[in-house]
Amino acid sequence: MSSRAPYDVIIVGAGIVGLATAWELVQRRPDARLLILDKESRVGAHQTGHNSGVIHSGLYYRPGSLKATLTRSGHRLLTAFCEREQIPYELSGKLVVAVRHEELSRLEQLYQNGLVNQVPDLKMVSREEMSDIEPHVRGLKAIYSPKTGIVDYRMIAARLANRLQTAGHDLLLNHSVDRIQSNGSIRIHTAGGDTFVGATAIVAAGIGADRLAQRSGLRHKARMIPFRGDYLVLRPERRSLVRSLIYPVPDPRLPFLGVHFTRRIHDGSVWIGPNAVLAGSRAGYRRGALNKRDLWDTVTFPGFWRMARQHWRSALGEWFRDYAVGAYVAMAREYVPELSLSDVMRGPMGIRAQLVDADGGLVDDFRILPTNAALFVLNAPSPAATSSFAIARYLVESAANAFGWKLRAKSD
Ligand SMILES: Cc1cc2nc3c(=O)[nH]c(=O)nc-3n(C[C@H](O)[C@H](O)[C@H](O)COP(=O)(O)OP(=O)(O)OC[C@H]3O[C@@H](n4cnc5c(N)ncnc54)[C@H](O)[C@@H]3O)c2cc1C
């Protein structure tokens, strides 16, 4: 009699990290039987389907961090997948622009960081070279990263789901996982009362990761704090103001803040943003959305108040500019002076899953927690979409080491 568990690996979360992980398993353990569960009615319903669509090249991340390593290889693996699958992407290039003299030393540090991270073809460019790349931009000096690109992550997620199902694996949507019992093997209980049994689980539940880990008995002190990221969209007749990607010199403590101009791959539109405003709901994609439980979880977490004490000034600024579009446009005009309030409309939004430690520190790097039969991705913030295929490889190879799997050699 076979004692084989019904599924070899159960993956929770059909965002790009979960789906890419399933796809890596198909290549490296072709005999494994996989189940992917997601609580929503479609794949990529959260961060994967609500982001800027940038393929980052690894400029910002601390050398040696998981982010730095996995973004470099993730860029390569992601673009190779797009090539094979004929998914449109474009390495349209990015300028990181210093507009003030006091930003120049940070720009230089960032450039050096990019060199250490082996960002391909990185260049420091003068004011004149900058205008050849982006004719409407103004600044003192910029870093040019020609291999930064754009893609539609929702499309990649949909293609992965399609390939997984065609290969005979099970993808069950509308299945919210309540808890995971990990006791040498895996029992997954859903909110709807189903139980799924597997040998191993890999959990990539985005903003739900902290709660799911907690309910599954994993001790950790961090909590997800949702931040709404709203975009403005340039009116179609003003799209010519931006060719590709224009970014500010980041504040190293809050690298995701500041005005970003992003061209979209599927329709050539230009988005400005996202900002980062504390959100009252983990999944409410509208301004002012409030979920009592989400709000309660935020305000009862001591780490939230410690974070607030450290960053209240930036938080107030973001909150003010969220309501006063004119103030946001004024900030954007520092980079593109021809921009005016009448050139923009309010656009879509995303919700950032920001893991915060009990001491109030924003967790920057990817974080993965193991149990005796599962791996939990506790933190996969930006640029985890870019890095998704490399995170997938890292997870599968870590699981192979931990659980004694035999893997096929990498094909690239
Ligand atoms: C505004 C914004 C802009 C960004 N821009 C970029 C960018 O340009 N480039 C880039 O590389 N990255 C970007 N990111 C980051 C990137 O989108 C995320 O890092 C990445 O999508 C994370 O993927 P994921 O699969 O871990 O999470 P998600 O896409 O959030 O997927 C998690 C999945 O888990 C499911 N789930 C959660 N709980 C449960 C449960 N209990 N049971 C079953 N299913 C569950 C959810 O329904 C969801 O489908 C951005 C993020 C935001 C918010």
- 162 found inside a domain: yes
Q: What is the Cα–Cα distance from 196 to 23, expressed in whole angstroms?
A: 20
Task: Identify the domain containing residue 331 by its residue range.
Answer: 91-149+225-356
Range 270-290 average pLDDT? 93
Q: What is the Cα–Cα distance from 141 to 76, expressed in whole angstroms?
A: 28
User: 324: pLDDT confidence band, cut at 50, 70 and 90?
Assistant: confident
Q: What is the Cα–Cα distance from 381 to 51, expressed in whole angstroms?
A: 11
Name which of 47, 397, 20, 393 is nearest 209 in CA terms.
47
- 73 found inside a domain: no
| Alpha-carbon torsion (331, 333, 334, 335), positive or negative | positive
Query: Over the stretch 348-368, which tens digit does the pLDDT of each residue have?
Result: 999 999 999 999 999 999 999
Q: Reply yes or no on whether the pLDDT at 297 is more than 60.
A: yes
More confident residue, 405 or 411: 405
Whether residue 165 is found in the same domain as residue 145 = no
Distance from the CA of 89 to the center of ligand 1, in angstroms? Answer: 19
Query: Over the stretch 66-111, which tens digit does the pLDDT of each residue have?
Result: 999 999 999 999 999 999 999 999 999 999 999 999 999 999 999 9
Whether residue 208 is found in the same domain as residue 238 = no
Distance from the CA of 225 to the center of ligand 1, in angstroms? Answer: 14
Q: What is the pTM of this model?
A: 0.97
Q: Identify the residues whose C-beta falls under 6 Å from ligand 1.
A: 12-18, 37-40, 45-48, 50-54, 56, 176-177, 204-208, 212, 229, 274, 350-352, 380-386
Whether residue 131 is found in the same domain as residue 266 = yes
Whether residue 229 is found in the same domain as residue 334 = yes
Distance from the CA of 382 to the center of ligand 1, in angstroms? Answer: 9
- 412 found inside a domain: no
Q: What is the Cα–Cα distance from 328 to 355, expressed in whole angstroms?
A: 26
Q: What domain count does the chain have?
A: 2
- 58 found inside a domain: no
Between helices 66-85 and 384-403, what is the axis angle to 10°?
100
Whether residue 237 is found in the same domain as residue 320 = yes
Integer angstrom CA distances of residue 45 from 155, 156, 228, 264: 12, 13, 15, 18
Whether residue 369 is found in the same domain as residue 303 = no
Averaged pLDDT score across all residues of the chain: 95
Whether residue 291 is found in the same domain as residue 345 = yes
| Confidence at residue 4, expressed as pLDDT on a 0 to 100 scale | 52
